[in-house]
Structure 1
Amino acid sequence: MIGKGIRKVDSESILSGQPIYTDDLVFHKDVLIIKLLRSPHAFARIKNINIDRAKKVEGIVEIYTYKDVPQVRYSESGESYPDPTPYDRMLLEPIVRYVGDEVAIIVGEDEVAVEKAMKLVKVEYEVLEPVLDLIKAEGHSSIIHPEDDIFCPFDFGFNGKKNIVSRFKLGKGDVEEEFKNCDLVIERTYHTQAQAHCMMETHRAYSYIDANGRIVVISSNQSAYHMRRQTAKAIGLPVSKLRFIKPRIGGGFGGKNVALAEPYVAFVTWKTKRPSKLIYTRKETFAASTSRHEMKFDVKIGSDLEGNIKAIDINSINNTGAYGANGTVVTMEAAQNVLPVYNKVPAIRYRGKTVYTNIVSAGPLRGYGATQGTFITDTAINELSSKLGIEPVEIKLNNTIRKGAEGGILKNPIKSLNVEKCIERGKELIGWDEKYPNKEINSTKVRAVGMSIAIHGSGIANIDSATVIVQMVEDGTYILLTGSSDLGTGSDTVLAQITAESLNTNMDRITVYSGDTDACPYDTGAYASCTTYLTGNAIVRACAELKDKILKIAEAKLNIPALFLELKEDRVCHKEDESIYVFLSILGQESVLGPDSEVLMANATFGMPESPRPFIAGFVEIELDKSTGEVKVINYVAVVDCGTVINPNLARIQVEGGITQGIGLALYEDVKYSDSGRLLTDSFIQYNVPSKKDIGDIIVEFQPDYEPTGPFGAKSIGEVVIHTPPPAIANAVYNAVGVYIRDLPITSEKVYMAMKESKDNKD
C-alpha cells in the first residue's frame, strides 16, 4: 500500500454531495440561531448596552452581554496543553480590542429575528486610541490588555502593560566577533504581510445536549481535543461535560485550529438547554477570525569573498493582533524551523518579540512563522550572493547542513535530508544553466529565474502525541479509531494505507473513524505537519501488537506455532503451505463468543521525541514587464524530500496547493486596514487570491531520503511546501531588473517604483 496513488477514501461522498459537513448534520428542527454583535471600533470601552428593544423582537430567545457570561479567561489557540500562549480572552468583555470584536450574543428562533434584533441593540462606547503599528506597540500609551488576571502557563516574557506577549532568543557562537572576520556584511529590513486563510467552508459550529445531559459540539475544526479543552475553559465546565465531533472539513490551513464559534454555541446550549448553531459569514471569516502574523525583520549577514557565511543576526517583531493566540510560538518557529538548515554558520543570533495591536487577532496559517522566516533569511542570502557575484545555488549548497549534522542550534541529529539531489534536480527541471540570470524577450519584457530552499518539522518534539485503536471486527476487516483531523488533505487515506500495509491487507478492508472525543483516543490533531509522522507511527505500533494477537489466536486454532504463520489479506496461513489457513472472519466471530473470548484490538501511543526535517528546493521562472512592473509566474519547480512518499497523488496535491498559496503571499494577497483599524479586505472582491491562470505551470518531483524514525520512512509535507515562492520570486525579480522588493507582496507598483528609483539614482 505504500507509494501507491490511492484515491481518497471520502472522494465519492464528497463528489456526490452527500451530507457530511457541519451544517449538513444539524438534525434538530428547533435549533437556535446565533449571531454575534461586533464592535465598530478598534479599541473602546463599553459604557452601556441597552438590549430592551432588541429583546422584544418576536422570535428572540435571549441576548447575552459581558455581564451574563463566565468571567473566565481562556486561549483560543489549538496548541497542546499546557498552552504556550496567554489566557487573555473571554466570551465577552467590557473592552473591545479590534473592529469585529464580540460585543453581544444574540439568540433567536430564526435568522430574520436575530438580524432585526442586532440592529436594535444600542451600545455606548468610550473610544480609546488604538495601536495599529507593530513598531509602535511596545510601550504605547494605550495598553491593550490592562487586566491583571491573564494567566501564562510558561514564562516567555509576557508584559501586558507594555503590549508585549513574549520574547524569544535562539543562537550559537559569537556573532559580533564573527562579523569582524567577514569580507562582506549587508544589513536589510524586511516586512511580511498578514494573509487570510480563504478556506471554502467558513467557521461554524452546532451543539445540543445529549441524553446524558452532556454538551455535544459538532464543528469544522482541526483538533477536536484542543477545541474541547478551550471551549470547556471558556464556559466554565469540565471537559467531561463536553463531546466534540469533527465531520468533514471544507478547508482549514490552520485557521480552524482556534476556538472561535465553538465556545459560543456551547454556552448558548448550556444556558438555554436547546440546540444552537453559529455560522460565520464570509465577511466575519475575514474580519473576525484570524490571519497570518504580520512580521518585520532586521537582518545582518556576513561572509568571506568565497561565500562562506560567518554570521547571521536577526531581530524580529511579530504582530499578534488583539489576542495572544499562537503569537508566541510563531515568533519561535520563524527561527526554529528556518535557521537549523544553516547550522554550519559559525555564529547565529535570533531575537524576536511578539506584540499586541488593535487589529484582527493573528493565528496559525500554513507555514506558521517559518514562511516569514524563510523569506527574510533566504532573501538576505540571495542578496549576499548578488553582492559577491556568486550564484545563489552555490551559496546554498556551500552553507547548508547535510544528513548526520548535529549540535549547535539543532535539537536532534539530522537522520535524513536530501539537499544536493533536490537542488540539482530543481536546476535541471527549470533549465537554470540556460536561463540564469535572465533573457530579454523584447524591448519591455524579460524572463528570469530565481531559487530558494526551506526546511520545516514533522510535529512538535516532546509535546505532540497521538493514540490510536485498531480493531479487527467480526467479519475479519479492521477499523481504525483516531482523533486526527482530515482537512481535505487526504490524511485519512494515508493513515488507512499505513494501517493496511502494517496488517498486510488492502484498503477495502480498512475503515477509518476519526475526530470524535468520545469514540476516538487522544490525538494532537491536524497542525504542525504532524499527522503522517505522529499518528502514522502510533498506527504502526498498534498494528504490530494486533498482528501478534491475531497470530497467537491462529496458533491455537491451527495448532501451528505463530513463528510459522503469516497474516494475509483475509486469513492467517502457513508461510510455506498456504493451503493451511484460517479465515480472519472465523477468528473475528470466535473472538466475541464465550467466557474466554478476547476482542481483537490494540492501542498504541506515539509521543515524538524528535521532529524530522523535510526539505524543499523551489525554482521559479517569471516574466516581468519593465514598462509596468507586472510579474507573471511562468514555471515553478518544486523538488521535495518528505521521506517515503506514502501516497504520491495526495503528496503532489499538497505541494501544488502550498506553492499556490506561497505565490499568493508573494505577489497578490495583502490584508489591509483603514487608518481607524477597520479591515478593508473583507471579501473576495477586495482580497486578491491567485487563480489557476496566475500561478503558471507547477512541476513537482520527489527526491525522498528514508527517515528511519518515520512510519515506513515518511516525514511531513504539509507546510514546507509554502515557504519557497516569496524568496524565489524576489530573487527572480532581482535577476530580471536588478531590484529587490523586501516588503511583501511584490506588486507591480513596488517593482516599477523600485526600478524608477534605481534608474534615478544611477542618473
Structure 2
Amino acid sequence: MKHIGKSYDKVDAKGILSGKPSYTGDFVPKDALIIKVLRSPHAQAKIKSIDTSKAKLIPGVEAIFTYEDVPNTRFTLAGQTYPEPSAYDALILDSVVRYVGDEVALVVAKDEATALKAMPLIKVEYEVQKPVLDLRTAMDHETVVHPEDDILNHIPVGQDYKRNICVSYHKRVGDIEGELAKCDYVVEGTYFDQATRQSAMEPFQSFGYIDHLGRIVIVSSTQIVFHVRRHIARALGIPASKIRVIKPRIGGGFGSKQTACTELMTAFVTWKLQKPCYLLYDRTEAQTCSTTRHAREWYIRVGATKDGIIQVIDMDSITDAGAHATHCFTTTTAGEHKSVPLYNKAKAVHYGTEGVYMNHTPGGAFRGYGATEALWPLECAVNRLADEMGIDPAELRQKNLIAAGERSLVYDPDEIMDSGLFQETVNKVKEMARWDERPHSWDIDERYRGGLGMALALQGSGVANIDVASVEIRLGDDGNYTLYTGSSDMGMGANTILTQMACEALGCPMESMTVVESDTDIVPFDPGSYASSTTYVTGTAAKMAAEELREKIIHKLAQFMEVKPEDIDFDGLVGVTKDGTKKMSIQELAPKLLVGTTCEQLTGFATWGSHTSPPPFMASIAEVKVDKQTGQIIPLHMYNCVDCGTVVNPKLARVQVEGGAVQAIGMALYEDVRYSSNGRLETNNFMTYKIPTRQDIGELHTAFVESYEESGAYGVKSIGEIVINTACPAIQHAVKNAVGADIRTLPMTPEKVFMGMDAKYKV
C-alpha cells in the first residue's frame, strides 16, 4: 500500500497550529443583528402572557419574537436520516417551557449590549407546574411534560406521552427466569450512569443571511449540514432548495453538534427580517441549553453455569430523555447491539428501557451513543461474576466472546459478526499490562493501594441499511484533484483519512488532492459525521469514486497516446505505455480535456451504504491507586488495544484512542450533570463541571490488532466512538480490586469510594 497504514500528519495540522483556520464566528457579517435568547427560570411552566412592549422601545432593538410569532409545525432537532425515529416534539418557541433555560423569546438587536438591556424588560407571566425531576417517579407523574396532541412519530417506539413515556423498547429472546434457575452463579444489581456534557471548545453558534437569489444561507458549527437543511425547511414551511447550509471548521463536536441547537432560531429570524442575524451561545448556555448523554439507571442480572458459560443476560433501564425525545430511541437500540452481542453463548437475553420525559436538558448524541451507557453495567456485572466464580475475568470473557462468523440472540436473522480478532485483542492488552504476571490488588505503601481492572467493548461502523454517503472527485484543469464530501471534519482528521483512501485508489501523492466539505450547495449528500461512519461509509464511497475517475483518466490517456487502455501504467500523475515508448503526465492531459469539441471534465462519483455495521472491538485494562484515607482514585495507566480493521493512519488512530480514553476517564471520575431540587443545572460552567486535564489521566498506552473487514474499503472499520466505552467499568473493577469498594453509580467520587470501603454502604 502506498498510503494506507502510513502515519501522515493531518492535512490541516500546520494551519491549526498557526491559527489560520476560520470558524463560524470569523465569517459573521459586520452588519449582522445579534440574537439573544430569553430563557425560562422554571423547570415546567405554561406561559400565560408575554409583554414585550417596553423592551421594544429600547433604541437598537429590531424585533422580539415569542411563541405567538413562530410556525406551529413540530420537528425534531436530532440529526438523523429521514424518516427520523426521534419524535417531532419541538417548536422554535413553545407556550410550554420544559427545563430551566428553555427558550421563551428571541431578542434581536443591533448589538449584544442592547439585546441584554432589553431582556429584563420583557414581562412573562407563568403558570408554574410541579417539575418532573426524579427518574423513578417520572412515569405517571402528576405533571405531563408534553401535554400536546400533535407530536409526530414516523415509527412506533412504545410512546405514551400522557404517562411521560417517549420510548418503551424491549428485546426478549428465550426463557430468562427458567435459564436463571439453572445457573450456578447469578449476579444482579442496580447501576447508574450520569448525564455528561460533550464540552467542545467551540460553543454553539450560527449566522444567517439572505443571498442574491432570496434564499436563506446558514453558516453553522454543525456535524450535519443536510439534516439541518431538512429541519429548517420543515420548521419554516419552505422548500429545502431555498436553504443553503455551510459548515466552516468546527472546534469540536463529539455528538453535541449532531443536534441542531441554534440553527432553527437563526434561520427563523433571518427569514422573518430578511437581514443578517447571528446567534452565539455563551458557555453557560452551551452547558445548559444543548444536549447531554442520557442518564440511565440499570437493573442487570447475569447468570452462568459452573463451567464458566454465561447463560443469561438481563438488562433493564430507565432513561432520562430530558425535555425532548431527541436520540432517545436510537441510543437505546444502539446500546443493545453494542453490548449484549459481546457474549453470545447465552440461551436467554433481555434488553430494554423506558425512556421518560423529564424537566432536564434534553438528552442527545454523545460519542459512544448508547454503547457507553450499556457497557457500563454489563462489564461491571461480568467482573463481579468472575469474582464470585473465583476465576480470572479475562478467562471468563474469553470463554464467552463472540467470534467472526457467529451470531447473537439479539441479531436479525441474516446478521452475523462479520470480522474481528477478539481473542487476539484481549491477549494483546493482557500482555501490555502484564496481567498474568502480577497481582491485581496490592499495597503501594501504608496509605495507597493499587488495582487492575478489565473491560471490553463493541461499537459499530455507520448505521446499517440507513445512512449512505456520496463522494465526488474532480480532475482540475491544472492536473490536481478535488474531493467533495458532505462529512464534517471536527478535528478527528476525517479529511486526511479520506485523502489517504482516495489517493491510494488513484495512486497519486497526498499533495495532489484537496478536500472540500460540508456545503449543501456544493457537495453531494452525506448524512454527516456521526455513528462512526466517516472512514467506513464515506471512505468506501471515496475509494469507489477514485477508482471510477482513475479508469476515466486511463481511457483518456489511451485516446491521446493512441494505445489500448490496458497498455497503460498510471501512477496517479503520469501515464506510461508498458513498452515505455510513450508518456503523458496528468498536467499535460488535464488542459487538453477542457478545449475543443470533445472537451470533458473528468469526475468520479460514488454513493455507498452498507447492509451491515461491522463492529470494532476494544479491550482495556485500567491501573489505579486509591487513597485509603480519602477515597481518591488516581489513574496510573490505561492500556487499550483496538481492532478497528485496517488502520489507515496509525498516528491519527492513536490520537482517537487517547482522546476517547480521556473523555471516558472524565465520565468515570469527574464529570456530572447535576441539578438542584428545583431543576436548575448546578454544573453549568467549567468551574463546576470538571473535565480532566493532562494531570488527571495517568499514562495512556495504545496498541492495535488489525483484522480485515471485507464489506468496506481496504478492510477498514470505525474507531471514533468505541474508544470511550471501556474506561468506566475498567476503572470500577480496578478500584474494587484495590480497596473493595463496589461503586455502582457514576462518577466514582472520593466520597463514594471512602463510603464504599465499608461494606455496609452501597454506592
**TM-score normalised by the chain length of structure 2:** 0.98
Find 1:533's aligned residue among 525, 531, 536. 536
TM-aligned CA deviation for residue 383 of structure 1: 0.7
CA distance in 1, matches of 2:173, 2:651: 40
Letter in 2 for 1:314: M
Change beyond 3 A, Cα 1:129–1:540: same
Find 1:559's aligned residue among 558, 562, 573. 562
CA distance in 2, matches of 1:454, 1:170: 20
1:707 matched to which residue of 2? 709
Q: Which runs of 5+ in 2 are unaligned?
A: none
Identity of matched residues, %: 43
2:626 matched to which residue of 1? 624
TM-aligned CA deviation for residue 419 of structure 1: 1.0
CA distance in 1, matches of 2:500, 2:97: 48
CA distance in 1, matches of 2:176, 2:118: 61
Letter in 2 for 1:700: T
CA distance in 1, matches of 2:663, 2:171: 28
1:328 matched to which residue of 2? 329
1:482 matched to which residue of 2? 485
1:134-153 residue pairs with structure 2 within 5 A?
Answer: 134-153=135-154
Letter in 2 for 1:750: K
Give the 3-state SS of the residue equivalent to 1:136 in structure 2: coil
Give the 3-state SS of the residue equivalent to 1:451 in structure 2: strand
Task: Report if the CA contact (8 A) 2:755-2:761 is conserved.
Answer: no
Give the 3-state SS of the residue equivalent to 1:468 in structure 2: strand
1:685 matched to which residue of 2? 687
Instruction: Please provide the CA RMSD for this pair.
Output: 1.3
Letter in 2 for 1:499: A
Find 2:730's aligned residue among 720, 728, 731. 728
TM-aligned CA deviation for residue 543 of structure 1: 1.3
Letter in 1 for 2:113: V
CA distance in 2, matches of 1:209, 1:246: 17
Task: Report if the CA contact (8 A) 1:320-1:327 is conserved.
Answer: yes
2:585 matched to which residue of 1? 583
TM-aligned CA deviation for residue 255 of structure 1: 0.1
CA distance in 1, matches of 2:579, 2:168: 66
CA distance in 1, matches of 2:418, 2:355: 32
TM-aligned CA deviation for residue 577 of structure 1: 3.7
Find 2:421's aligned residue among 396, 418, 423. 418
1:290 matched to which residue of 2? 291
1:592 matched to which residue of 2? 594
Aligned length: 759
TM-aligned CA deviation for residue 180 of structure 1: 2.0
Change beyond 3 A, Cα 1:592–1:635: same
CA distance in 2, matches of 1:579, 1:527: 49
TM-aligned CA deviation for residue 167 of structure 1: 1.4
Q: Say whether 1:62 aligns with 2:60.
A: no
Give the 3-state SS of the residue equivalent to 2:621 in structure 1: strand
Task: Report if the CA contact (8 A) 1:319-1:357 is conserved.
Answer: yes
TM-aligned CA deviation for residue 438 of structure 1: 1.0
CA distance in 1, matches of 2:581, 2:111: 66
1:505 matched to which residue of 2? 508
Letter in 2 for 1:340: P
TM-aligned CA deviation for residue 317 of structure 1: 1.1
2:89 matched to which residue of 1? 88
TM-aligned CA deviation for residue 172 of structure 1: 2.6
TM-aligned CA deviation for residue 758 of structure 1: 4.4
Find 2:460's aligned residue among 445, 457, 460. 457
Structure 1's consecutive aligned runs of 4 or more residues displaced over 4 angstroms after TM superposition are: 758-761
Cα deviation 1:716-744 (Å, max 9, x = unaligned) = 00000000000001111111122311111
Give the 3-state SS of the residue equivalent to 1:135 in structure 2: coil
CA distance in 2, matches of 1:760, 1:494: 46
TM-aligned CA deviation for residue 29 of structure 1: 2.0
Give the 3-state SS of the residue equivalent to 1:746 in structure 2: coil
CA distance in 1, matches of 2:313, 2:687: 41
Letter in 1 for 2:596: G
Task: Report if the CA contact (8 A) 2:21-2:249 is conserved.
Answer: no
CA distance in 2, matches of 1:224, 1:22: 13
TM-aligned CA deviation for residue 174 of structure 1: 2.2
Cα deviation 1:520-576 (Å, max 9, x = unaligned) = 0000111000000000111111111111111111111112211121221311112x3
CA distance in 2, matches of 1:592, 1:618: 55
1:428 matched to which residue of 2? 431
TM-aligned CA deviation for residue 646 of structure 1: 0.6
Give the 3-state SS of the residue equivalent to 1:104 in structure 2: strand
CA distance in 2, matches of 1:407, 1:311: 12
2:742 matched to which residue of 1? 740
Task: Report if the CA contact (8 A) 1:235-1:267 is conserved.
Answer: yes
CA distance in 2, matches of 1:230, 1:500: 35
Cα deviation 1:396-428 (Å, max 9, x = unaligned) = 101110111136323422232111111111111
Find 1:21's aligned residue among 20, 23, 35. 23
Q: Which runs of 5+ in 1 are unaligned?
A: none
TM-aligned CA deviation for residue 579 of structure 1: 5.1
2:647 matched to which residue of 1? 645
Task: Report if the CA contact (8 A) 1:165-1:356 is conserved.
Answer: yes
Task: Report if the CA contact (8 A) 1:173-1:348 is conserved.
Answer: yes
TM-aligned CA deviation for residue 199 of structure 1: 0.4
Deviates more, 1:502-511 or 1:750-759: 750-759
1:519 matched to which residue of 2? 522
Q: Say whether 1:468 aligns with 2:499.
A: no
CA distance in 2, matches of 1:394, 1:460: 32
CA distance in 2, matches of 1:760, 1:467: 51
Change beyond 3 A, Cα 1:760–1:76: closer
Letter in 2 for 1:61: E
TM-aligned CA deviation for residue 310 of structure 1: 0.7
Find 1:547's aligned residue among 546, 550, 558. 550
2:160 matched to which residue of 1? 159
Give the 3-state SS of the residue equivalent to 1:330 in structure 2: helix
CA distance in 2, matches of 1:756, 1:537: 54
Task: Report if the CA contact (8 A) 1:78-1:257 is conserved.
Answer: yes
1:201 matched to which residue of 2? 202
Task: Report if the CA contact (8 A) 1:69-1:91 is conserved.
Answer: yes
1:37 matched to which residue of 2? 38
Give the 3-state SS of the residue equivalent to 2:106 in structure 1: strand
Q: Say whether 1:259 aligns with 2:256.
A: no
Letter in 2 for 1:669: E
CA distance in 2, matches of 1:746, 1:264: 38
Q: Say whether 1:397 aligns with 2:398.
A: yes
Give the 3-state SS of the residue equivalent to 1:573 in structure 2: strand
Letter in 1 for 2:410: I
Deviates more, 1:301-310 or 1:433-442: 433-442
CA distance in 2, matches of 1:628, 1:184: 34
TM-aligned CA deviation for residue 591 of structure 1: 1.6
Give the 3-state SS of the residue equivalent to 1:533 in structure 2: helix
1:606 matched to which residue of 2? 608
Letter in 2 for 1:754: G
CA distance in 2, matches of 1:417, 1:133: 41
2:315 matched to which residue of 1? 314
Task: Report if the CA contact (8 A) 2:201-2:252 is conserved.
Answer: yes
CA distance in 1, matches of 2:353, 2:226: 30
Task: Report if the CA contact (8 A) 2:313-2:340 is conserved.
Answer: no
Give the 3-state SS of the residue equivalent to 2:703 in structure 1: strand
Give the 3-state SS of the residue equivalent to 2:431 in structure 1: helix
Deviates more, 1:588-597 or 1:634-643: 588-597
